[in-house]
Amino acid sequence: MKKHEIYISGRVQGVGYRYFVYYQAQSYDIKGYVKNLMDERVKVIAIGENTKKFIEELRKGPMMSHVSDIQINELISTKEYEEFTVEY
């Protein structure tokens, strides 16, 4: 199973981006979480078999967003997630 730590930059806070990510995670059977960071980026931990397609959707974002950059780090971790959540 693939696990990624993803940082999304651009106009991604205050535009429904986290909930967009949540619904995409449900569509692609991704586990992990999404949360806003203090530096105006969004962080996503994504675990699943369909992470490539999921990340493609993150590049698009919802209508009011604008993604300027995505940083993707592949992780090796033993922490498991049972679902995908929106963290605050």
Which of these is catalytic: 18, 41, 50, 73?
18
- Is 50 known to be catalytic? no
Local structure of residue 49 (DSSP, 8 states): T
The full DSSP string for 22-65 is HHHHHHTT-EEEEEE-TTS-EEEEEEETTHHHHHHHHHH--TT-
- Is 41 known to be catalytic? no
Which of these is catalytic: 36, 41, 50, 73?
36
Active site residues: 18, 36
